[in-house]
Amino acid sequence: MVEDARPTPVIILTYARSGSSFLGDIIRQAEEVFYVFEPLHFLDHHIHLDRLTFFNGTTRTSYQYSVLVNNIISSIFTCQLINLPLEFWHGKFVDMHGYQLQTFLTKFKSERSARYSKQMEFKIAIQILQLECIKSKVVVIKTIRASLFLVQGLFSQLERLKTLHLVRDPRPTIISQKIYINDFDSVSDYAANLCFRISNDISMSNLLTVLYPSSIVRIRYEILTTKPVDTSKNIYQFLNLTFTKRIKYVIWKKTSSGISGKGPLNTVKGNSTEMVNAWRLSANHSFVKSIDKKCQYLYKKLGYIQISDIAMLKNTSVALFLP
């Protein structure tokens, strides 16, 4: 198959609780898209086992994480799904994938639960799924588990690779991740680690933009949620996708209809403009100050504004980012 006939590979790269599920949900509405939600998630459970199995019957061990990540992403982008480890197919989040993969995983739920007892039937079904992937215009991967430094080699391997780098104010991101902070010495350490990672990704994206012009777009979560239709139109144009009236209606329903979804992974918020500032009303000022102290250098890169006092924090009419 000639290179130009292959789908355009697109990676949505961001961080936990930064709005990537919402962004991915907007993009997967296009029928032209083969969308894969968090394909690296299964590694959280299997990488420590140091053992992965494949359809050809082989078992491979001692992977470097970076090599494994690149192999998985490359296999999806080139629609060589048969090359993915069997453990990948046992992953979660069925309802968050694009309709092709979602339909496949739902159909084979019992087969996956039985750990592929009918190997040949399952293998044939994946080969059919590969054809669905190949027929798509764009293959999109959404991940919070890979840095730009980790995937930079893909730019030379995949000629038309595009990246959507989604960034958000670190303060609401960290507040949303409070339950995980017990794994760190303090809020300050957690903030320092996250902001350092974001800063590195920004530096890498600036370099890659020079090497591969028009391949990376940085999206600010606050703009995506307050101007969802206009921002989505621009994203669709960047990806050369068709922005239809149906997709416009879906975005309106998710962001402006006042109808809120249910469940931890439901991206429907009903009024996304209010959601942008909702964290400020309940945030603890000392908690926010500890984040500001570690992330102020990142604010300068991204145009976020440090909070001077509790009055500024609670006054949602005061914007915390520069246009």
- DSSP notation for 54-69: -TTS-EEE---HHHHH
pLDDT value, residue 122: 80
pLDDT value, residue 57: 79
Conformation bin of residue 92: beta by default, left when phi > 0, alpha when psi is -120 to 50: beta
Reduced to 3 states, what is the DSSP secondary structure of residue 217?
A: strand
**Contacts (Cβ under 8 Å, ≥6 apart) of 208:** 148, 152, 155, 163, 215, 216
Say how many C-beta atoms besides its own lie within 10 A of residue 41's C-beta. 15
pLDDT value, residue 46: 60
- Give the C-alpha separation, 25 to 264, whole Å: 14
Long-range contacts of 261-265 (CB under 8 A, 24+ apart): 265/21, 265/93, 265/95, 265/96
**What backbone phi and psi angles, to 5 degrees, belong to 260?**
-95, 140
Eight-class DSSP state of 152: T
For 271, the token pair is: 């009024």
- Give the C-alpha separation, 29 to 96, whole Å: 11
pLDDT value, residue 153: 92
Reduced to 3 states, what is the DSSP secondary structure of residue 22?
A: helix
Q: How far is CA 30 from CA 27, 251, 289, in A?
A: 6, 12, 41
pLDDT value, residue 267: 53
Say how many C-beta atoms besides its own lie within 10 A of residue 109's C-beta. 10
pLDDT value, residue 2: 44
**What backbone phi and psi angles, to 5 degrees, belong to 214?**
65, 25
Q: Where are the alpha helices (DSSP H) in the chain?
A: 20-27, 43-46, 65-77, 99-107, 109-113, 119-135, 148-151, 154-157, 170-176, 187-211, 221-226, 228-238, 245-255, 272-282, 285-302, 310-314
pLDDT value, residue 107: 80
pLDDT 10s digit of each residue in the chain, 323 long? Answer: 344 678 999 999 999 999 999 999 999 999 999 999 999 998 886 655 568 888 877 887 767 888 889 999 999 999 999 999 888 988 778 899 999 999 988 887 766 555 555 677 788 889 999 999 999 999 999 999 999 999 999 999 998 999 999 999 999 999 988 877 765 568 889 999 999 999 999 999 999 999 999 999 999 999 999 999 999 999 999 999 999 999 999 999 888 766 555 443 455 455 666 778 999 999 999 999 999 999 999 999 999 999 999 999 999 999 999 87
Reduced to 3 states, what is the DSSP secondary structure of residue 185?
A: coil
Q: Specify whether domain 3-242 bears CATH 1.10.287.
A: no
Q: Model pTM?
A: 0.90
What single letter denotes the amino acid at residue 143? T
**What backbone phi and psi angles, to 5 degrees, belong to 237?**
-65, -40
The CB-side HSE value for 253 (13 A sphere, CA atoms) comes to: 11
- Give the C-alpha separation, 6 to 130, whole Å: 12
Eight-class DSSP state of 2: -
CA distance from start to end of the chain: 44
**Domain layout of the chain by residue ranges:** 3-242
